[in-house]
């Protein structure tokens, strides 16, 4: 069983975070480079047009991300591609 019951103090999200940390360590140890996922359709186009808020909306619609997560992701995409300054 991958996820164990750790009692009432150990939530499923905490268990998942622990598994993700372990996986990150394994990936780093093996020297594997994980490619960045492509931007959802329309996000880069909105950033290129200078419409950051619309890009965030498109990202949220495509991924189901929350506002802060979408904002951070769109800003990271803008930085990666040199857009939206």
**CA–CA gap between residue 75 and residue 32 (Å, rounded):** 25
Q: Where are the domains of the chain?
A: 1-34, 43-81
User: What integer pLDDT is reported at residue 1 of this predicted model?
Assistant: 46
Residue 42 CB coordination number (10 Å): 15
Please report where in the chains the tokens 């750790």 appear, as a residue. 6
> In the structure, what pLDDT confidence band is assigned to residue 71 with cuts at 50, 70 and 90?
very high
User: What integer pLDDT is reported at residue 2 of this predicted model?
Assistant: 54
Mean pLDDT of the chain: 88
Distant-in-sequence, close-in-space partners of 14: CB < 8 Å, separation ≥ 6: 6
pLDDT digits (tens, 9 = 90+) for 31-56: 999 888 899 999 999 999 999 999 99
């Amino acid at each position: 069983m991958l996820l164990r019951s750790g009692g009432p103090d150990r939530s499923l999200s905490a268990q998942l975070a622990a598994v993700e940390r372990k996986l990150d360590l394994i990936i780093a140890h093996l020297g594997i480079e994980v490619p960045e996922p492509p931007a959802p359709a329309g996000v880069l186009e909105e950033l290129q047009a200078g419409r950051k808020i619309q890009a965030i909306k498109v990202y949220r619609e495509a991924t189901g991300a929350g506002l802060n997560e979408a904002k951070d992701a769109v800003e990271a995409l803008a930085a990666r591609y040199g857009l939206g300054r």
